[in-house]
Amino acid sequence: MHLTHKIALRPTAEQADYFQRAAGTARKVWNWALDEWNKQYAGGGKPNAMALKKHFNAIKYDLYPWIKDMHRDSHAQPFAHLGKAWTTFFADLKAGKQAHEPRFKKKGRCRDSFYVANDKFALDGNSIRLPKIGAVAMTEALRFEGKILGATVSRTADRWFVAVQVDVPEAQALRRRTGHGTVGVDLGLKAAATLSSGESIQAPKPLKAALRRLKIRSRRLSRQLEAAKLAAGFAPGARLPKGTQLPVSSNRRKSAAKLARLHARIANLRVDFTHKLTTRLCRENQAVVIEDLNVKGMLANEKLAKAISDVGFGLFRVQMGYKAQRYGARLVVADRWYPSSRLCSVCGWKNEALTLKDREWTCPCCGTHHDRDCNAACNLKRLATETALPVASPTGNGGAAVGIVPAVAGKVTPVRNGCGQQDAPGQEESREHICSPF
């Protein structure tokens, strides 16, 4: 299993300067390769990443003399990354997915990073020896033991990190679970996650807490940029011609650094919360059921986009995917159209009139009063058991119809539903339902 440990670095001023120049080299070579690729493709040719690399190696010292001061990995790996990007693009087109062509990278608007091959660096406790600059202090030692595959040095705000990828033996990669339960997880905005046990977990919502400071620092930087434009002779609010570079004052540089640090802090709080939640779910349960949310479609709602981004639904799904493998838990992803909120978790009656603002409702068939999120979590939980309710027909008028879909592979011990209700008679039999393993 491949695992990556991201470690913060403590470089000297000279080492940080080299990191910045190496990241700029990688960005420059990427843009050169992408430009050549587009030219060859427009001329009817069939570009190849390795052919572009060979051509670049023949002219690089004449084209960019300063590249002699950079280690070769910083200007060799972008070709492999570009080839992989185009392969992914064409594969997505063939599969009918939404695809985007590789784009040019602009300084200040892309992630600063560069790659180092596994035979070009060495780890020694709390330090890493990198080519050209020697030993760089790390905040901690590498946690994993195994074959080192490579490393990527990157920058977040004003801090530098190294992400070391390791091929870890399965015995070390797998973690021991502390529980063997089954849980359904309903993600939402009122509560970040509602479990089928009835527990409601609130998100820290770091963006909402820091929004005032974020606006102040953004406004300060914007005003300094406008002042620089006026000093350079441009009209107020005018767009700069392509390639124009304004002089950067010390105060403007400090303002940009403060804004970047605040953005990094917001992201770190969100990631920390998601890591703790996903680890807990996978460590305490043998089966976890979540929904296949259309996050991109949800972000199209202007009124909810900010709140959805502040919770981090997409990050939750990604982390659940690989942590379930490490803890040996079974991850079940309910179909996007499964009506988990509309179905009564006791009798299966479908509430067609339920709207987004209805947080509670009472089933007219069995009289059970439901909390919307807890009911959805209970219905999700049943998808991982043999007591799953039948799939509600999308065009039904309140009833439930069995859909002809594949059943979940594997078996999980039937349990009581998480809202404290005993399974209704006749629901213990195995039924087919919509779900897909991640």
Check if 167 is active-site: no
Catalytic, out of 124, 186, 352, 371? 186
d(C-alpha 292, C-alpha 332), whole Å: 10
Backbone angles phi, psi at 62, to 5 degrees: -80, -35
What tokens appear for 162 in the block? 């190294």
d(C-alpha 50, C-alpha 83), whole Å: 8
d(C-alpha 291, C-alpha 114), whole Å: 36
Catalytic, out of 73, 112, 291, 310? 291
The distance of Cα 35 from the centroid of its chain, to the nearest Å, equals 29
Check if 291 is active-site: yes
Query: What are the beta bridge partners of residue 200?
Result: 194
SS3 breakdown of the chain: % helix, strand, coil, rounded to 5?
Answer: 40, 20, 40
- For 246-299, give the secondary structure using H, E and C: CCCCHHHHHHHHHHHHHHHHHHHHHHHHHHHHHHHHHHHEEEEEEECCCHHHHC
Angle subtended at Cα 238 by Cα 251 and Cα 102, rounded to the nearest 5 degrees: 85
Pairing of strands 285-291, 181-187: parallel
Check if 226 is active-site: no
Contacts with 77 (C-beta within 8 Å, 6 or more apart), sequence order: 26, 114, 115
d(C-alpha 103, C-alpha 25), whole Å: 16
What tokens appear for 245 in the block? 């570079």
Catalytic, out of 35, 373, 386, 429? 373
Q: Give catalytic residues, as residue numbers.
A: 186, 291, 373
